[in-house]
Amino acid sequence: MGQKIHPVGLRLGITRTWDSRWFEKKNYKVWLHEDVAIRKYFARWMRPAAISKIEIERRANQARILINTGKPGIIIGKRGVGIEEIRKNLEKLSGKTVQVNVVEIKHIELDARLVAQNIVDQLEKRIAFRRAMKQAIMRSMKAGARGIKVQVSGRLGGAEIARRERNHDGKVPLHTLRADIDYAHVEAFTTFGRIGVKVWIYRGEVLPDQPRTENRADRSDRATFRDRRDRAPRAGRTSRSVTAAEPAAVVADAPAQPANATDQSVDDIAESPSDTAAPVSAEQVFGAAEHEVELENALAASSDASEQSEAPDQPNTTEESSDLEAEPTQVPDTNPAPAPESAQPTETSPQGDPQPSHPTTESTE
């Protein structure tokens, strides 16, 4: 039911207080009508003076009125003439002593009524409703809002059929009672009819010990804290980032590379001590692996090219061996056998007859 109830009324007494703070038994009706008349009196000041709300406190015959405005100079006037005139008119209206105090709103972008009033002014000037919504959301988030939601309903853009559009940024926890959520509803009167504008602004959480959590704009003077993941690992502890242990597992699946492929391989990086070497990122690991694969492909391509270039010069040994097996041939003997000792070399005579080189002995018989 958090979507169907007024966010301010749901949190009264928890994170918000009543705009009218007084108690009366007998004259309750009279005082209630006086409060309504006082707020109607300030209705004509709502737009030019950027009035957000009117708070009324009563004590016997004395009333105290707090005017929350983003432009206090318009209400006070030159030398306080404007606020003095307002005080006299309110005393005539209520017949009691009236004390008027002006409270300045420092961040008008965090006030739901002022943001809605700004959107209404733009719609009445025929500015596109989507542009007005986006500008209001952007300004509120820059001012320090935790979340904002804007809803515009009616004949948007002069359409014949009324519709409703929403736009939001951040988070608006409507079910969280401790959440400080400001809500406002303002109507724009255009030539096509009424256009309702609703604004929800989440400004933080209100804890029991403190009245309200500070906004982002109030925390600008604090020191900025780095993310825990950006801190360097302490001595004796392993970092959560991709360190030397992870590259070893990645390179194990990669094919082997030549010894002189790179000056420093991934294994060398993995074996380096973690306390002296900086942590290796995932991009470096995968970059090194890709570089190794490229070198292996280049070496394989060069070896294939060299084998193809040497192939024509080599004889086809397979065909010759098959021929030799099919038809055996006689190979001449280059080293003849030595002659027997009994055989003697002969010499040729001038007539051409062979003659022994040594004289022979004849038997006397």
- pLDDT tens by residue, the chain, 365 residues: 556 789 999 999 888 899 999 998 888 999 999 999 999 998 887 788 889 999 999 988 889 999 999 988 888 888 888 889 999 999 988 888 999 999 999 999 999 999 999 999 999 999 999 999 999 999 999 999 999 999 999 999 999 999 999 999 999 999 999 999 999 999 999 999 999 999 999 999 987 665 554 454 454 444 444 555 555 555 555 545 444 444 444 444 545 454 444 445 445 544 444 444 455 555 565 566 677 777 778 877 777 776 666 555 544 444 444 444 445 555 555 555 555 554 455 544 445 555 555 554 444 43
Q: CA-to-CA distance for 294 and 77, rounded, in angstroms?
A: 79
> Which residue carries 């002593």 as its tokens?
97
The answer to whether position 268 is within a domain reads yes
Q: Which CATH number goes with the domain that contains 17?
A: 3.30.300.20
**Nearest to residue 136, comparing CAs of 164, 114, 165?**
114
pLDDT, residue 250, reads 44
Q: CA-to-CA distance for 81 and 75, rounded, in angstroms?
A: 9
Collapsing DSSP states into helix, strand and coil, what is residue 151? Answer: strand
> Which residue carries 């002296």 as its tokens?
276
Collapsing DSSP states into helix, strand and coil, what is residue 181? Answer: strand
Q: Which CATH number goes with the domain that contains 136?
A: 3.30.1140.32
The answer to whether position 235 is within a domain reads no
Q: Do 72 and 35 fall into the same domain?
A: yes
Domain that holds residue 250: 241-302
pLDDT, residue 301, reads 79
Q: Do 88 and 160 fall into the same domain?
A: no
Q: CA-to-CA distance for 365 and 360, rounded, in angstroms?
A: 15
pLDDT digits (tens, 9 = 90+) for 87-141: 999 998 888 899 999 999 999 999 999 999 999 999 999 999 999 999 999 999 9
Domain limit, last residue, from 105, 135, 162: 105
pLDDT, residue 339, reads 52
Q: Do 245 and 295 fall into the same domain?
A: yes
State which H helix or E strand residue 318 sits in.
helix 317-326
Q: Based on the structure, what is the number of domains in the chain?
A: 3
Domain limit, last residue, from 302, 323, 355: 302
Domain limit, last residue, from 282, 302, 322: 302
Q: Do 15 and 101 fall into the same domain?
A: yes
